[in-house]
Structure 1
Amino acid sequence: MVRKNSTLLMSVAAAALATAALNATPAAAQATSNTAGPVKPYYGNLRPFYGNLRPFYGNLRPFYGNLRPFWGNLRPFWGDTGAFYGDLKTFWATSNPVVGADAPEYARVGDFWTKAGGDWQVAFSSAISTAPDKALIDSKITTILSDSEAFWGASIQAKTGKSFTEGFLKPFLAARGIEGSDASAFSNLNQDEMAYIFLEYYDALMDYAGTDHVDHWMKTINWTPSLTKTQGSGADTRIGILDMSFTTDASIAGNIIISGGVSEFSNGHGAAVGSLIVGHHDGRGVMGIAPNAQVVAYNPFDETGTANWDDITLGVKTLKANGASIVNMSLGVPGSTFDKGWSNVFLDLGYTTQILKNTLFVVAAGNDGVTQTDNVSWLPQPLNPAVIIVGSVDVEGAISNFSNRPGEACFTRLGLCLGDKLKNHFIVAPGELILVSDGAGGTTRMSGTSFAAPLVSGAIALLHDRWPWLANFPGETAKIILDSAKDLGAPGIDPVYGVGMLDVTASQSPLSFSSLKWFSVQNGKAVAQTNNAVITRYKQVQNGTWKTTADAYFYAFEPLGLLTQRDFAIPLTSKLIGQNVTTYLGGQEQFQAYLLSRMDTWVKNGGKGAFANGFSSQSYAIANPWGMDLTMSVAPRQSRYGYRDEGPAYQSRFQIAGEKTQMVFGFGDGAPQLARSTGFASAGSYDIDRGGADPLLGLASGGVYAGMDYQIAPQLSFSAGMLSREQERQRNLEPALGVVGNGAATYAADAQRFALAYKPTADLTLTGSWTRLNEDRGLLGIQSFDPQDFRKGSTTDGYSLSVNWAASDRLSFMATGSMGRTRASDGQSLAVSKGGLTTSSFEVGFAAGDLLAKGDRFTLSVSQPMFVEKGKLDVQTVQVVDRQTGEIGIVTQSFDISGKRRIAGEAMYLKPINGGYGDVALFGRVETGSQNPGTGAEEDSYVTGARYRIAF
């Protein structure tokens, strides 16, 4: 293997001369653009590495100590990119996010690099040890090359027409001045070169992955491509880039609408910076945070590669005059984190009024490793603009040893430090070994605060895309970026990390949920409401609400300063709460208890019906002077999960029977009592979410009830009844229920039922009924935390037909079906649209005794819980009506809430044991299209269980 050293030595010498020249340049502003000025593109000691120039020489040697842990971080980085793969699938809208048909399976790319990184770690660790094992090193590198050929060979063959070795490995090594194509080509490098080449190897092979590169900075700043796509990709934002020319870079040149400057001088620095902001998501190379943003570019550097303050001033003026709301400046004066010269730039009275209104400046901190001690004279806005200063951190989140730091330097007012320090405006982002465009159609790795700053500029572009009016409020925009940062270093704002690490996702979220406000619509006017309901409900999984309202939103507003705010769209279902609200595990446990009660309903009463909710009752005859049959029954009262269990522990029923008339009244689950001719004797059959018998009756069941039957003819009887319910919900399950004045703290409803029952034979009963349900602040069992949403409640009429056939003492069949009609309503924020709502439900049951053994019981039922067949809701919300200005107003929208039909099947079997003093029971339920209480997703659900019980 022959090493070509001449190119390397020339590059190193050039870097050394350039560094010396930079450090020797005086800080004073130069008079003409053809004389070297004090402002530098920020590399200094970290001059970007082009061609064969390595970053591991001279003053960069201390950085090498920070590099080794990177390989340890690289492996879990791949392990953690499962979320990236998921996001990329969404982003590319394909199951395999590739552009080329010959790319390897993307989901396996991470596994490949996990193994390759592990093999390289072994080889590299041995290489830097005091006694390197050449055989071990070559063996591991050989394995890497062999695995690479197996995994990437087909893609390389398809793109180059050559084998892995001829089409990739030899050209890769030759471009780095290395001859040979075996393990020794790697292992014979010195330690510095060996440390870097594997990262280059990774980047080069990822060019064949068929999609854009995933880089370490993405996870660090909490950014994903799907976030960019969702927020608009910068399409409504114009960014100014004050840097070297990059119009020849095809990957980003299309975003440039205006380009100017004092020269066309370029060494790739501008292209590298620009690629991190607007790099296209096109299946290759670098992904920028705002790939669709428009760019106004200005090059202040002359042929010496430097600029004077006059050129900088003209550049800022030009960018602003061409509509840039964000200006990225990865340049500055060596030795300063934020040079005093910037104040003169911004106070140039010739154009101060043009730049102050709506421009946010992002400035790289510099690469000298210094801590600023000099104060900067700086007038408050609007006389000086909003500025964010950006430092660099390494791959582990520690401040880069080259990054300049803010220290305790002040922005002074008339020479006085009033607490406004540079560190308050200082943020950090990854700036080491960042993958960037090389300006010639390829990619390279660069380090420096130059490459941390554009990550911040891209994050600002996403803010301006989602909230365009923020472009007119640069101070408020800066506050969002700075206040959403993740704290690093000493707690709070500190002189090394400033406010901490850029967090893109956090900047898109409320800075403080306690500051949010929202509005209800009352009598056509927007009225501010408490923020507590927003806070407590914002992240909750919803239960029992209309899942089809996923496209309906209400809006919370976050005040920013005195003159503006930003809005957050929250699913309408976040305000809504149904009848069954549980935690995930709690829901499973309660559901099993519900199934047991369903089973006990029939078992304990010999298949002939039961008292209310399924508990066997104790009945007592009561003497009376009227000669009537008067009976009182009591039974334990089963509490309704999600509601406070108030009132007596037992429910009661009084029954008066005459020759043709029978009356019943009591307290508890009255639905089975008023509808007992249907044969469905369990309260669970009337549960709106779990049963299919008359759900309107079930919604009002739980309090006092009364009913009467009158026999019109031997085979025909008439019945009438009413029942009501008022229950307070458990606050510990939903914190928003504790907010004073919320609209869902109590559920109250009443219902009236009228029915005709016809018995053509002694064993067959046909029943037709009408039920009217009146709900206070509710709609079909659903309420809102906003008291204005269902302010006037709702009225629903239901019609049911039932068949109840006792085929024998051991066998019976029951069936019932219902249709409901909810009236249109108005005068409330959430109302039923014109035409009303149509609902349906049904349940079919089969019960048998002595089926497999004497005394056993078996039940089987199929039901459709209440389903909205058709209907819409009118929703009045306060939202932004002009997304350019941020103006808010009242908007009325209609949403179809007909959803996916759910079908449930239940089976239960019980066999007595121990002479009737115990039993063994099996039970289960399957439901299609049910809502997972843990995730809110629709899926088929299964619940099974068994019970062994013995009496002592």
Structure 2
Amino acid sequence: MHARLLAGISFAALVLAGQASAADKSATWQAQIGDTASVQTQAKGGAGVTIAVIDTGLVSTNSEVSGRVAGGSACAAVTFTCSNGYYDDNGHGTAVAAIAAGKYTSTIYNSMSGVAPAATILSDKSLNASGSGYDSDIANGIRKAADNGAQVINLSLTFTPTTAVINAINYAASKNVVLVWAGGNGATNFNGGATTSGLTAAAAARLLFVGSVGATNTVSTFSNKPGTGKVSAGTTSTTYANLWLMANGENIVAPGIQFGSSVYASWSGTSMAAPEVTGAVALLEATWPILRTNGTATTVLLKSATDLGAKGVDATYGSGLLNLAAAFQPIGTTTVTTATGTQTNLTLSGGVMVTSSAIGEATPLRQALSGYTIFDSFSRNFSADLSHLVATVSSDSLMALPSEPTRPVASARTYFTGGGWAAAATTRPLNFAEGVWGDGLAAGPGEGDLAARLMGQRERGLTAMTLVDARGDVMSVSRGGGSTSAFAEAFWGADSAAADQAGRLQASTVLMGLAQGGYATSVGANLGGRVRLAAGWTETDQQYGVGLIGDRTRSTARATAIGANVAVTSGWRLGATWSSLSESNGLLGATYDGAGLLALGDHRDSRAISLTSTLGLGGGRSLIADAAWVSTSGATAGGGLVRDVSPLTARAFGLALAQDDAFRAGDRLSLGVRKPLRVTSGQLSLATTTVDDQGLPHTAFETVSLVPSGDETDLDLAYAAPLGPDATVAAQLSLRSDAGNVAGRNGAALRLGVTSRF
């Protein structure tokens, strides 16, 4: 059967660059396919991909293609003899090749280059000087192109689905080759509306037909339309419309070698629209080799096309207008590869991890997630910033004073005859987040408000009761508040300078400070005057936890502490405390969704040994030292991005000097230096996925440190003095360096308060 090439139905010689009457060849594409230059850069211009042009041949010395013509280029005709090999003696083939893969130059004609300017061009001459050939010539050209490594074949000629051509298409498709066919210039329905039969399923998946639009994206008057005809592949069939794209085919500037070796012409026809699509396939497969392996490059273009009608069923515009910019964006569901090698839907997988001051902002983890590999529905890899999965505490919260929050408190204290007293207190609702991070966490908009929602917005009012007998034994119970000060009083004795400073330094109570907001109790007793024992227990709100509201895998924590101090000399007491922390979906105060992407283990246990010393210096002065060393168990993380977490070590310590009766009887002045809890060693294994040169994913594990970027130091100056028998005034100035163990985050806070008794 005779085949006639679809030559441009109109063209005019452009003799001088300055006399160009049409837009340069790529400017007409930019309106329909977006930022072509950006896509070309991402795809490296299609380098590594071979585009075969089955046409009238190619002038290999033309500046558009010079240096990129494949050595396998040859005459593929079987019904006529090529006197000069694959040399183009018509002009059509060279123009088509330049539109698909013309190189970048700065001339007026092609300042934006061909679609795939770095692709290799394979010319298989199958049409003669007048643009004619037979189906056997076309079929042989297709086969030769497939055998010579073509990844995409452009056929800007009449579609003639004879047995020879169909068999050749099937052969090329079996080698993962995409075939792009011009839709024709007859202003009629494609292939006369007849069904194309005999194709394999692989061939139907790798076949595209292209119609033409003009500058307004309206179908060109000459362009064929897909109509309602079908392609039959085995037991299935699909309409031409489902395999049909539109591209600009009017007034495309390309070489016009028939007018001179360096002359350009204005070309029109579906012959010009087809190579735009061919170049787009080359860019896609150069960027994502998996599309060639899976045979899905054509589907990507069809799915991403701009709808000009009823997509896939429109008898005029088919699947729509080529949109290369959209084709380079993720399509469908995005997924990540988990530590177990499975794909997890990124849009449905939540689980934001909220950091704690012990690990700072988790900077190494945030950096590892900032360029993380995700995949779309076509198994294409993209780089995405997933650092938002790590939520950090707000600057305001980190600047809060390290001691427990102060609120207006309604309290009553009753003194017993013979010594001792009992007290009860209540305050406005307090949640765990505020107890750990400070009032700023839940106050006002911004990061603090977000963190409050994540960490536990279900507030509970504080209720506390304390009983102190004549010997100084202490028992306290509370719900909804902090527990560190209560344990310090049980350990050292109520209202003592040592208890006051230990409550501020928060080393011996560091693990209890990570499990507040629920029930808590502390007891302390003197044994013979030289030894004092204390025990404490506290938990987060077990009904609501500290994680996301409604999350059945919420974070909760419980802590216990047992300690004793002994009088070494009349002015020196030395104490030791053993404490434990049991966290569910938590790690040293950091919380996460146990089923989320950044789960760090269902259950974590921490142990702490602390040493505390108080030394009387005489004259009402005392020196208090407090230090704790913490170890946390490792864990297998589960089904998220983290495979496992190593055992962790952490430390906290502080030193305070207190002066009683500094300026007046009953006052207390203190100066403290504090290093709050900070992880000193430990890491996690994060799944990281790369793709090979075939586009196949490979997952390895990156070791990510959990040591924070900063090392917080707090300087705390406090003063309290009585205002008569029923009132006390207190002031506290705190200076913080690397607040929250975040490097460079510094701040100061001042707190004033008055306590009245009535």
Give yes or no for TM over 0.5.
yes
- Partner of residue 45, structure 1: 10
Q: Which of 543, 548, 557 pairs up with 1:749?
A: 557
- Partner of residue 60, structure 2: 247
Question: In structure 1, what is the Cα distance between the partners aligned to 2:254 and 2:520?
Answer: 74
Q: Within the alignment, does 1:29 sit opposite 2:2 as a pair? A: yes
Change (3 A) 1:479 1:414: closer
Q: Within the alignment, does 1:874 sit opposite 2:685 as a pair? A: yes
Aligned-CA RMSD value: 6.0
Question: In structure 1, what is the Cα distance between the partners aligned to 2:753 and 2:500?
Answer: 27
Maintained 8 Å contact 1:365/1:403: no
- Partner of residue 604, structure 2: 794
Question: In structure 1, what is the Cα distance between the partners aligned to 2:223 and 2:167?
Answer: 30
Change (3 A) 1:357 1:275: closer
Maintained 8 Å contact 1:29/1:38: no
Question: In structure 2, what is the Cα distance between the partners aligned to 1:820 and 1:219?
Answer: 62
Q: Within the alignment, does 1:499 sit opposite 2:319 as a pair? A: yes
Question: In structure 1, what is the Cα distance between the partners aligned to 2:31 and 2:470?
Answer: 78
SS at match of 1:893: strand
TM-score, with structure 1 as normaliser: 0.56
SS at match of 2:129: coil
- Partner of residue 670, structure 1: 483
Q: Within the alignment, does 1:783 sit opposite 2:589 as a pair? A: no
- Partner of residue 174, structure 1: none
Maintained 8 Å contact 1:794/1:823: yes
Q: Within the alignment, does 1:298 sit opposite 2:119 as a pair? A: no
Q: Within the alignment, does 1:328 sit opposite 2:154 as a pair? A: yes
> In the TM superposition, what is the alpha-carbon distance from 1:823 to its structure 2 partner?
2.9
Maintained 8 Å contact 1:275/1:286: no
Q: Aligned AA for 2:475?
A: M
> In the TM superposition, what is the alpha-carbon distance from 1:320 to its structure 2 partner?
1.2
Question: In structure 2, what is the Cα distance between the partners aligned to 1:807 and 1:443?
Answer: 99
Alignment of 1:511-526 (within 5 A): 511-513=331-333, 521=340
Question: In structure 2, what is the Cα distance between the partners aligned to 1:721 and 1:702?
Answer: 14
> In the TM superposition, what is the alpha-carbon distance from 1:755 to its structure 2 partner?
4.8
- How many residues are paired up? 682
Question: In structure 2, what is the Cα distance between the partners aligned to 1:299 and 1:248?
Answer: 16
SS at match of 2:161: helix
Q: Within the alignment, does 1:260 sit opposite 2:69 as a pair? A: no
Change (3 A) 1:577 1:413: closer
Question: In structure 1, what is the Cα distance between the partners aligned to 2:619 and 2:320?
Answer: 77
> In the TM superposition, what is the alpha-carbon distance from 1:360 to its structure 2 partner?
1.8
> In the TM superposition, what is the alpha-carbon distance from 1:464 to its structure 2 partner?
3.3
Q: Within the alignment, does 1:313 sit opposite 2:139 as a pair? A: yes
Maintained 8 Å contact 2:475/2:524: yes
Q: Aligned AA for 2:327?
A: S
SS at match of 2:425: strand
Question: In structure 1, what is the Cα distance between the partners aligned to 2:221 and 2:354?
Answer: 46
- Partner of residue 361, structure 1: 179
- Partner of residue 495, structure 2: none
> In the TM superposition, what is the alpha-carbon distance from 1:723 to its structure 2 partner?
1.9
Maintained 8 Å contact 2:70/2:121: yes
Alignment of 1:576-655 (within 5 A): 591=396, 598=401, 612-621=404-413, 629-639=421-431, 640=433, 641=452, 642-646=454-458, 648-655=460-467
Q: Aligned AA for 1:39?
A: L
Change (3 A) 1:459 1:372: closer
SS at match of 1:535: coil
Change (3 A) 1:352 1:823: same
> In the TM superposition, what is the alpha-carbon distance from 1:399 to its structure 2 partner?
0.7
> In the TM superposition, what is the alpha-carbon distance from 1:361 to its structure 2 partner?
1.9
Q: Aligned AA for 1:260?
A: S
SS at match of 1:388: strand
Change (3 A) 1:695 1:361: farther
SS at match of 1:709: strand
Alignment of 1:706-855 (within 5 A): 706-711=521-526, 717-726=532-541, 743=553, 746-755=554-563, 769-780=577-588, 781-784=590-593, 786=595, 789-798=599-608, 819-826=629-636, 828-829=638-639, 830-832=642-644, 836-840=647-651
Alignment of 1:160-559 (within 5 A): 221-223=33-35, 234=46, 237-242=49-54, 244-245=57-58, 247-249=60-62, 253-262=66-75, 263-265=86-88, 267=91, 268-270=94-96, 272-275=98-101, 286=112, 293-304=119-130, 308-329=134-155, 331-332=156-157, 339=158, 341-344=159-162, 347-349=165-167, 352-356=170-174, 358-365=176-183, 374-379=192-197, 381-382=200-201, 384=204, 386-391=206-211, 398-399=216-217, 402=220, 407=225, 409-412=227-230, 420-429=238-247, 453-465=274-286, 467-474=288-295, 476-488=296-308, 494-495=314-315, 497-504=317-324, 506-513=326-333, 521=340, 531=345, 534-535=347-348, 537=350, 546-549=362-365, 550-551=367-368
Question: In structure 1, what is the Cα distance between the partners aligned to 2:691 and 2:221?
Answer: 44
Maintained 8 Å contact 1:864/1:902: no
Question: In structure 2, what is the Cα distance between the partners aligned to 1:447 and 1:843?
Answer: 81
Question: In structure 1, what is the Cα distance between the partners aligned to 2:508 and 2:559?
Answer: 15
Maintained 8 Å contact 1:819/1:838: yes
Question: In structure 2, what is the Cα distance between the partners aligned to 1:421 and 1:353?
Answer: 22
Maintained 8 Å contact 1:362/1:390: yes
Maintained 8 Å contact 1:616/1:635: yes
Alignment of 1:838-917 (within 5 A): 838-840=649-651, 867-875=678-686, 884=694, 886=696, 893-898=701-706, 901-902=709-710
Q: Aligned AA for 1:824?
A: G
Change (3 A) 1:52 1:294: closer
Change (3 A) 1:258 1:790: same
Provide Cα deviations, 1:256-297, integer angstroms capped at 9, x if missing partner: 443423331174514522435x7599xx96566666655433
Question: In structure 1, what is the Cα distance between the partners aligned to 2:121 and 2:653?
Answer: 62
SS at match of 1:258: coil
Maintained 8 Å contact 1:272/1:438: no
Maintained 8 Å contact 2:183/2:209: yes
Identical pairs, percent = 18
Question: In structure 1, what is the Cα distance between the partners aligned to 2:692 and 2:521?
Answer: 56
Change (3 A) 1:901 1:630: same
Maintained 8 Å contact 1:386/1:478: yes
Question: 5+ residue gaps in structure 1?
Answer: 1-27, 31-36, 61-195, 201-213, 333-338, 582-586, 602-611, 687-691, 852-856, 932-938
Q: Aligned AA for 1:314?
A: N
SS at match of 2:209: strand
Q: Aligned AA for 1:796?
A: S
> In the TM superposition, what is the alpha-carbon distance from 1:704 to its structure 2 partner?
1.8
Question: In structure 2, what is the Cα distance between the partners aligned to 1:368 and 1:947?
Answer: 84
> In the TM superposition, what is the alpha-carbon distance from 1:548 to its structure 2 partner?
1.8
SS at match of 2:101: helix
SS at match of 2:474: strand
> In the TM superposition, what is the alpha-carbon distance from 1:317 to its structure 2 partner?
1.6
Change (3 A) 1:457 1:908: farther
SS at match of 2:405: coil
Question: In structure 1, what is the Cα distance between the partners aligned to 2:349 and 2:637?
Answer: 27
Q: Which has the higher contact order (CA 8 A, sep 6+)?
A: 2
Q: Which of 698, 716, 732 pairs up with 2:513?
A: 698
Maintained 8 Å contact 1:778/1:790: yes
Maintained 8 Å contact 1:717/1:757: yes
Provide Cα deviations, 1:285-328, integer angstroms capped at 9, x if missing partner: 65666666554333434334555544333222211122323223
